[in-house]
């Protein structure tokens, strides 16, 4: 789940919001450990998610979809389209976490409905049992309310990863993201999440999108970090290229 090929460092993910299959294809081959298509806030439709996942080589880095909502339909469609895992936003309590985990797995482990699309274009599809074993379910903790319940969220059967959204968590906490990330007190939200996951042997991931924020999450012991966004990579490369062309 949001693979960690080298246990000595967190896995590095690219977060794609531009909604462009070509951009995902390029980043998929660029050396990231995993790629996330952000269908909550990014410019993705069901159709473009399917088209994008369909064109990727099956043996490349893991693909995740951050679904728009914690519903069986949104989760089922992302997995049907061929995503290896889902990242489910705004999971507030153990009940919501259990619903997300159930939506990821076929009966008897869950309540996912059968209908994998890769069969339509001739790819081998795993059996329900294989699919249940291979799928990854990451639930996002992004409010103080959820952090208070993170011990019980991480304990839910079928939750493979707790994934922190620092932007929403800071917003809902009434502090800046910088203040949230700089908090090293014993009750710091990041520490609470990491400790809860360690106690349950569940992996912990988070969105960063910049080198500085990635370093903070890595220092806190996160296993999977979205270190860059597609739009950020493009904007930074454009700025650097123009700077070297015109001079600083």
Residues between 137 and 156 with contacts to ligand 3PY, criterion CB under 6 A: 142
Binding flag, residue 10, ligand 3PY (CB under 6 A): no
**Residue ranges in the chain assigned as alpha helix (H):** 21-28, 46-55, 72-80, 94-103, 128-134, 144-148, 150-154, 166-173, 177-182, 189-200, 211-219, 230-246
Q: Kindly state the number of chain residues that form the binding site for ligand 3PY, as judged by CB under 6 A.
A: 6
Query: Does 21 sit near ligand 3PY (CB under 6 A)?
Result: no
Q: Which is nearer to ligand 3PY, 180 or 196 (CB)?
A: 180
Q: Which is nearer to Mg ion, 33 or 168 (CB)?
A: 168
- When CB distances to ligand 3PY are compared, the closest residue is 165
- Which residue's CB is nearer to ligand 3PY, number 136 or number 209? 209
Which among 202, 227, 194 has a CA at the least distance from the CA of 213? 227
Nearest approach, Cβ of residue 168 and ligand 3PY (Å): 3
How near is the Cβ of 142 to ligand 3PY at its closest, in Å? 5
Largest CA distance in the chain: 62
The distance of closest approach from Cβ of residue 68 to ligand 3PY in the complex, given in angstroms and rounded to an integer, is 12
CA–CA gap between residue 237 and residue 233 (Å, rounded) = 6
CA end-to-end span of the chain, whole Å? Answer: 42
Q: Which does 166 bind (CB under 5 to 8 A by kind): ligand 3PY, Mg ion, none?
A: ligand 3PY
CB closer to ligand 3PY, 80 vs 142? 142
Do strands 62-66 and 34-38 pair parallel, antiparallel, or not at all (unpaired)?
Answer: parallel
Q: Centre a 10 Å sphere on the Cβ of residue 185 and count the other Cβ atoms it contains.
A: 7
165 or 205: CB nearest Mg ion:
165
Per CB under 6 A, contacts with ligand 3PY among 153-212 are: 165-168, 207
**Cα(45)–Cα(20) distance, integer angstroms:** 11
- Active-site residue flag, 41: yes
From 28, 41, 223, 246, active-site residue: 41
Least separation, in Å, of the C-beta of 38 and ligand 3PY?
7
Residue 229 near residue 14 (C-beta atoms within 8 A): yes
Least Å from the CB of residue 217 to ligand 3PY: 11
CA distances from 127 to 2, 80, 141, 217 (A): 21, 13, 31, 36
* Structural contact between residues 37 and 49, judged by C-beta atoms closer than 8 angstroms: yes
Catalytic residue annotation: 41
Q: Which residues bind ligand 3PY (CB under 6 A)?
A: 142, 165-168, 207
């Amino acid at each position: 789940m949001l693979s960690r090929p080298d246990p000595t460092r967190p896995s590095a993910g690219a977060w794609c919001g531009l909604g462009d299959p070509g951009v995902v294809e390029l980043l998929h081959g660029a050396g990231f450990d995993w790629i996330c298509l952000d269908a909550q806030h990014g410019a993705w439709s069901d159709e473009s998610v399917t088209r994008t996942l369909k064109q990727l080589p099956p043996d490349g880095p893991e693909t995740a979809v951050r679904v728009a909502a914690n519903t069986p339909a949104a989760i089922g469609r992302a997995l049907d389209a061929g995503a290896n895992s889902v990242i489910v936003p705004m999971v507030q309590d153990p009940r919501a976490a259990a619903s997300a985990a159930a939506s990821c797995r076929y009966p008897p482990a869950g309540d996912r409905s059968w209908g994998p699309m890769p069969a339509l274009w001739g790819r081998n599809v795993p059996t329900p049992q294989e699919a249940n074993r291979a799928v990854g379910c990451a639930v996002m903790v992004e409010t103080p309310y959820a952090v208070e319940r993170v011990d019980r969220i991480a304990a839910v059967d079928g939750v493979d990863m707790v994934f922190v959204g620092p932007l929403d968590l800071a917003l809902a906490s009434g502090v800046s993201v910088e203040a949230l990330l700089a908090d090293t007190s014993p009750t710091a939200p990041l520490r609470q999440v990491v400790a809860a996951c360690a106690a349950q042997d569940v992996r912990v991931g988070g969105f960063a999108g910049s080198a500085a924020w990635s370093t903070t999450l890595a220092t806190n012991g996160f296993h999977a970090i979205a270190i860059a966004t597609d739009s950020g990579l493009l904007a930074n490369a454009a700025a650097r290229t123009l700077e070297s062309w015109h001079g600083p």
